[in-house]
Structure 1
Amino acid sequence: MKRLLIVVVVGLMGAGCSNGPNSTYEEFGTRVNTSGFGHKYAQPEYEDELVLGPGDTISVQIANNPDLDSIQAVQIEGSIQVAYLGPVKVAGLTPSKVRDKLQLLLTPYIRDVSIVVTPVQIISKKIYVYTTDEKGGLRGRAFPLQGDLTLIDLITEVGGFNELSDDCHVKVVRGDPRHPTVWNINVRDMIENGYTAGNVPMRPDDIVFMQPTFFARIAQTLYKVTQPIRVLSQSVSDTAQSVFFLQNGTLPRNGGVY
C-alpha cells in the first residue's frame, strides 16, 4: 500500500490531462468553431455592452408614440416583433445597435423617430462553474451573466469553496479556438490580504474551475486506482452468494436474507 501511495503521488506530479487532446485550433482547423467560444451570437472581446440572444427581454420605447411601446422577448430565431415592421432580427446586436437599426427602419413610418432600447432581463449569456467530487468526477452549473459580475461575486453566489476545492488556485478559462486565455487566481489572497488584481470581471462563456486541492487529488486518484479491486471483490462476493444459494436454497446471513 505504501508503494502504491508513492506511485500515486509521483503520478499526480506529472499527470493531469497529459494524455488528452489539447483542443487547439490547429487540431480541429475549420471543421468546428473558428471564432470566440462557439456560440452563434458571440460577444466581441472589445464590446462592454452585452449582445442580445434568444430568451433575452428588452424594452422598446418610441418617443411620442406610447401606444407602440413594448417589452419584447427575443425569439428562438433571434427576432422581435415591431409595429409597422413585423419580425426584426436583433440577436447578435447590442441594445444601442438595436436602437439604431429600429430608428432606421421606422423612419419611413414615423417622423423624427426616437427610440430607447433598454435590457430588461439577460439570460442568454452564461458562465460555467465546475468543481470535482470525492471520486474525481466533474460537476458543473451554468449561471446567467447579469450585470457587472466579478470572480468574487460569482464564487460568493455559488456558496464559496467546499472541503475539496483549492482556494489558492482557481482556474478562469476564457475560451477561444486560437488564443484561449487561462488564469490561475489566488482567491484566498484576495479575501485575506486584499490583493484584488485577480478579481477579473466575468464575461459571457467564461469557465471557472474550482480545482481540487493536492490532497483531494490524492484521494480521488486512490479511488480510481482501487476501483477495479472493489469491482472484482464485489463480483467475487456475488458469485459466492449465488453458489451458496444454489447449494442451500437461501443466502448467507450476511447477505441480508434470513
Structure 2
Amino acid sequence: MLVLTACGVTPHPPLTADQINPLQDFDYIIGPGDEIEIFVWGNEELTTTVDVRPDGKITTRLVEDIVASGKTPTALARDIEEAYSEYVRSAVVSVIVEGFVSIPSQQIRVVGEAASPLKIPFSKHMTLLDLMIEVGGLTDYADGNRAILIRYFNGKQESYTLRLDDMLEDGDISANLALYPGDIVIIPESWF
C-alpha cells in the first residue's frame, strides 16, 4: 500500500471586511517628494508651497532646513510655528499636503495577476474595489479567491485571504474592505 502525503501551508480562511483588524486612526506621514502648502495666518507673504526634498527637509522664506519627512502635517505646522516664533509674534501655521508622492509605507502595492500591477499612493477611505478598478481588474489567469492581503499591524505582519473573484465576478460586496497605508495585495496565478 502506497500512502502519499502532501506538505503545504494552509492559507487563512477568507475574511469579510469587519473581521480584519482596522487601524483606528490614520494620520498621513509626510515623505520626500510630497508637495506641501504652508499657510501662515495673517502673514500671507510667508504662505508658500514647497516640495519635500529627497533628504526629507524643506526650506521656507524665513527658515532653512526644517525636517518634514516622517511628521504629520499638524506636527510639521507646530515645528514651523516654533521656528517662526523668532521672527513672527504668535504665528499660526497650517500645513496641507497638496501632492502625495511619499514613501512606500504610504503606498498600496499590487503584484501578480492584476491586469496592471502597480503601486499607488494611499488615499483615505480607499477600498479593495477602488484598488481593483485602479489596476484594471484581474488577468484571465488570476485566482482571485486565493489572493493575499499583507498588512503590518502593531509592528507585526499579518496576512489575509481575499475573495476578489467573489467581489468582481459575483458582486459580493462583503468581500470589499478598507485598505491602509503599506498594504500589499498578491494575486496568484490559477493552477489550471
TM-score (structure 1 length as normaliser): 0.59
Q: Unpaired segments of 5 or more residues in structure 1?
A: 1-9, 17-44, 134-138, 216-258
Correspondence for 2:13: none
Paired residue type of 2:33: G
- Cα distance in 2, alignment partners of residues 140 and 188 from structure 1: 17
Correspondence for 1:206: 183
1:155 to 129, 132, 139: 132
Rg comparison, structure with higher value:
1
The Cα offsets for residues 173-230 of structure 1, whole Å up to 9 and x where unpaired, read as 014796211010112333435442x433222222111122231xxxxxxxxxxxxxxx
Correspondence for 1:115: 93
- Cα distance in 1, alignment partners of residues 51 and 63 from structure 2: 16
Correspondence for 2:160: 183
Structure 1 pair 176/147, CA: closer, same or farther in 2 (3 Å)? closer
- Whether the 8 Å contact between 1:122 and 1:146 is mirrored in structure 2 is no
Divergent runs of 4+, >4 A: 13-16, 175-178
| % same residue | 22
- Is 1:97 aligned to 2:75, yes or no? yes
The Cα offsets for residues 134-157 of structure 1, whole Å up to 9 and x where unpaired, read as xxxxx9532222443211111111
Instruction: Compare relative contact order (CA 8 Å, sep 6+) and give the higher one, 1 or 2.
Output: 2
Q: 51-60 vs 169-178, which deviates more?
A: 169-178
Paired residue total: 171
Q: Unpaired segments of 5 or more residues in structure 2?
A: 10-22
Name whichever structure is richer in helix by fraction: 1
2:45 to 67, 71, 74: 67
- Aligned ranges for residues 1-258 of structure 1 at < 5 Å? 14=7, 47-124=25-102, 125-132=106-113, 140-175=117-152, 179-191=156-168, 192-196=170-174, 198-215=175-192
TM-score (structure 2 length as normaliser): 0.77
